[in-house]
Amino acid sequence: MSATRTPAVADPLVVPAGTTAADAVAAAGLPTTGPKAIVVVRDAAGRLRDLDWRPELDTDVAPVAIDEPDGLNVLRHSAAHVLAQAVQDVFPEAKLGIGPPIENGFYYDFDVPKPFQPEDLTKLEKRMQEIVKAGQTFRRREYKSLDEAKVELAGEPYKLELVDIKGDVDDTELATVGAGELTHYDNLDKEGKRVWGDLCRGPHLPTTRLIPAFKLMRSAAAYWRGSEKNPQLQRIYGTAWPSRDELKAYLNRLAEAERRDHRKLGTELDLFSFPDEIGSGLVVFHPKGGIIKREMEDYVRARHIEEGFQYVSSPHITKEGLFHTSGHLPYYKDTMFPPMQLEGADYYLKAMNCPMHNLIFRSRGRSYRELPLRFFEFGTVYRYEKSGVVHGLTRVRGLTQDDSHSYVTKEQAPAEIKHLLNFVRSLLDDFGLDDYYLELSTRDPKSDKFIGTDEQWAVATKVLEDVATESGLELVLDPGGAAFYGPKISVQAKDAIGRTWQMSTIQYDFNQPARFGLEFQAADGTRQEPVMIHSAKFGSIERFFGVLVEHYAGAFPAWLAPVQVVGIPIRDDHADYLTSFVEKLRAAGVRAEVDYSDDRMQKKIRTAQQQKIPFMAIAGDDDVAAGTVSFRYRDGSQRNGVSVDEAVAHVVEIVRSRTNVGPSAAA
């Protein structure tokens, strides 16, 4: 970030022919232990090499420290090997799957007769500590032939499978087998005796001693090679760091994420619940959650109207024919609630709103003069998410989209998409969400899930890509992730636990207009087909709500807070004074109340603090006499003796400004 800071680029090293990289690292005086230890080197081709690598010619390499991204991967991959060794020590019958490094840690998959129990993890962690302390060295060994590998790996059926499919594997599996040669890493004890080994591309740490801090996090099942059709293996997740402090910091981040979890805060702040009686993934918003939801809806409705959208409305159920026309049914029948049979017709709960909007478009003749024609509604849709995937507000079975469809000419499409992207960005800004990137989902040309011609897809994808690129935002490609009817740009926002959630979407659709026979009369009198652009700004109101809760850890900005001001009388007889103050606030549209409970005022402050109310207005004898109130803000700062009129104006100003910071005495 800072322009003055010089990046710590390690000086290049030369490894003289016939010596090891470790020798060169030592000769250069670079650290070989501790949180900055050099653990591997990168050769000119960018390939990472073990420190005991011995080039045949003098070779330039760059040292890689344990705290760099590549170094962390080496650390974590080595930790995965230590885990695998520990598992096979404790459970000799365990068969090995794969064990790659991942963000913040690593995992390893095992085929074991009995799933791991939490106590097993403790046992394994202990065994891992012993292995780390034993200072085993990792030694690379190349197999001369496939057959040699197969003989040695005869007892490891999954490894054998990897050897067989070598050359046609994804990156994760490449981490295990590698491209080109087939290699194995042995763990040697102090006497040089082989104690364990694994088919692996490497590279690895020179010794297990360089794993300073790790922890096993959880075990879970995972399908072998990621396919539902394969057997499930038992996966153990761990985390590993270059120092104990970094491990601690990571665990603290997880704890903080847990504190911000919207499911927990939703209960504590009385925002929403998921009654069992209604069903999994079906939310009810309580009054306080309802206020936030309504603020969101009011905001987005007003914004849509400002942006040229017309507010429409459509029913929750429809006869199935509509979804045949749109083309959705064959694709999404499995994830829709099953139909209701009534008077000879099948009715479905809708899982999408676009077909209904198409009918509004088609309800009369349309002229080019009407385009872009923009419809918007809060469309509540129902999707039968599989039972294992339902998750708080972020993955539900009934959700409301702020769904819009823009009908435009082909020529108008780029400008409309740009318009929508700007709309979305200003909305995210207004809600204070800043951690997001764009994703471009395109079709998989090999799949038959996608309809339309190559050219149509190419045109649509190009339009989206151009707008996305022009925006200057980080753009990630998502091949194969498009809807069957067209590509999409989505905004992926990060939640407190680092998961990314799809929020806003913009989709280019050339299929549905044709399927519905949509047309408009052009300037030259011909009838032409519009393009439709689907877009949801919040995406799902429920999901956006959930992400907001986590983003603010429940401490909503004043304009969104369910209760904006609470009056706290110091004695009961100050309550009337505060009541008249609160009435003034209410008259100005502020959500304010007085805490009339018979708690002591300290307790009332504590309660307001726990409810994360932005303004506390306290009044006692002094304030009553002076015609003032004393603010205590959510951050603990305070401002005493503010005259009533000034206090009302102050709150009103902050609420109306829709600022997402504070309030605080400092501001």
- Contacts of RNA in 308-347 (CB under 7 A): 328, 331-332, 335-336
Tell me if 534 is assigned to a ligand binding site. Answer: yes
The residue within the footprint of RNA, chosen from 228, 306, 343, 454 (CB under 7 A), is 228
Q: How many Å apart are CA 334 and CA 384, to the nearest integer?
A: 8
- For the question of residue 184 being annotated catalytic, the response is no
Asked if residue 238 lies in contact with residue 215, where contact means CB atoms within 8 angstroms, the answer is: yes
Q: How many Å apart are CA 115 and CA 111, to the nearest integer?
A: 9
> In this chain, which stretch among 23-31, 199-207, 240-248, 610-618 interacts with RNA, using CB under 7 A?
610-618
User: Is residue 570 close enough to count as binding RNA by CB under 7 A?
Assistant: yes
**Residue entry with tokens 């006499």:** 625
- For the question of residue 401 being annotated catalytic, the response is yes
> In this chain, which stretch among 191-199, 339-347, 428-436, 597-605 interacts with RNA, using CB under 7 A?
597-605
Q: Which is nearer to RNA, 12 or 279 (CB)?
A: 279
Q: Which is nearer to RNA, 599 or 645 (CB)?
A: 599
Residues 28-67 that bind RNA (CB under 7 A): none
Residues 477-516 that bind RNA (CB under 7 A): 481, 483, 488, 502, 505, 507
Cis upstream peptide for 31 (omega within 30°): no
- For the question of residue 527 being annotated catalytic, the response is no
Q: How many Å apart are CA 221 and CA 414, to the nearest integer?
A: 45
User: Is residue 610 close enough to count as binding RNA by CB under 7 A?
Assistant: yes
Which residues, 6 or more positions from 627, have their beta carbon under 8 angstroms from its beta carbon?
A: 643, 644
Minimum distance, C-beta of residue 55 to RNA, in the bound complex (Å): 38
Neighbours of 85 (CB within 10 A): 21
Catalytic residue among 354, 412, 507, 543: 354
Residues 373-392 that bind RNA (CB under 7 A): 383-392
The residue within the footprint of RNA, chosen from 281, 289, 379, 546 (CB under 7 A), is 281
Neighbours of 424 (CB within 10 A): 25
**Residue entry with tokens 């970094």:** 246
> Which of helix, strand or coil describes residue 359?
helix
Catalytic residue among 488, 537, 543, 612: 488
Asked if residue 169 lies in contact with residue 97, where contact means CB atoms within 8 angstroms, the answer is: no
Q: How many Å apart are CA 256 and CA 269, to the nearest integer?
A: 17
> In this chain, which stretch among 43-51, 199-207, 279-287, 310-318 interacts with RNA, using CB under 7 A?
279-287
- For the question of residue 534 being annotated catalytic, the response is yes
- Bridge-based pairing state of the strands 101-102 and 317-319: unpaired
- For the question of residue 354 being annotated catalytic, the response is yes
HEC readout, 286-322: CHHHHHHHHHHHHHHHHHHHHCCCEECCCCCEEEHHH
User: Is residue 12 close enough to count as binding RNA by CB under 7 A?
Assistant: no
User: Is residue 533 close enough to count as binding RNA by CB under 7 A?
Assistant: no
Contact pattern from residue 635 through residue 654 relative to RNA, giving x for each residue in contact according to CB under 7 A and a dash for the rest = -x-x-x--------------
User: Is residue 223 close enough to count as binding RNA by CB under 7 A?
Assistant: yes
The residue within the footprint of RNA, chosen from 210, 240, 619, 642 (CB under 7 A), is 619
CA dihedral (559, 563, 567, 568) positive or negative: negative
Show the tokens assigned to 203.
């590279």
- For the question of residue 650 being annotated catalytic, the response is no
The residue within the footprint of RNA, chosen from 13, 124, 128, 618 (CB under 7 A), is 618
User: Is residue 576 close enough to count as binding RNA by CB under 7 A?
Assistant: no
The residue within the footprint of RNA, chosen from 179, 221, 255, 667 (CB under 7 A), is 221
Residues 402-431 that bind RNA (CB under 7 A): none
Minimum distance, C-beta of residue 282 to RNA, in the bound complex (Å): 8
> Which of 99, 30, 98, 100 is closest to 66 using CA atoms?
30
Minimum distance, C-beta of residue 128 to RNA, in the bound complex (Å): 19
Q: Which is nearer to RNA, 434 or 621 (CB)?
A: 621
Asked if residue 316 lies in contact with residue 351, where contact means CB atoms within 8 angstroms, the answer is: no
Binding-site residue total for RNA (CB under 7 A)?
73
- Bridge-based pairing state of the strands 373-382 and 310-311: parallel
Q: Which is nearer to RNA, 205 or 616 (CB)?
A: 616
Minimum distance, C-beta of residue 277 to RNA, in the bound complex (Å): 9
Tell me if 405 is assigned to a ligand binding site. Answer: yes
- For the question of residue 591 being annotated catalytic, the response is no
Name the phi and psi angles at 352, rounded to 5. -160, 155
Catalytic residue among 85, 234, 401, 512: 401
Tell me if 304 is assigned to a ligand binding site. Answer: no
Residue 550 identity (one-letter amino acid)? E
Show the tokens assigned to 294.
């309504």
CA-based diameter of the chain, in Å? 94
User: Is residue 178 close enough to count as binding RNA by CB under 7 A?
Assistant: no
Catalytic residue among 139, 204, 293, 534: 534
Show the tokens assigned to 415.
């400008």
User: Is residue 447 close enough to count as binding RNA by CB under 7 A?
Assistant: no
> Which of helix, strand or coil describes residue 579?
helix
Residues 231-270 that bind RNA (CB under 7 A): 232, 234-235, 263, 267-268
- Which ranges of 166-268 does DSSP label H, i.e. alpha helix? 171-177, 244-260, 262-268
Binding site residue list: 354, 405, 534
Task: Output the known binding site for Zn(2+).
Answer: 354, 405, 534
So which residues are the catalytic ones? 354, 383, 401, 403, 405, 488, 534
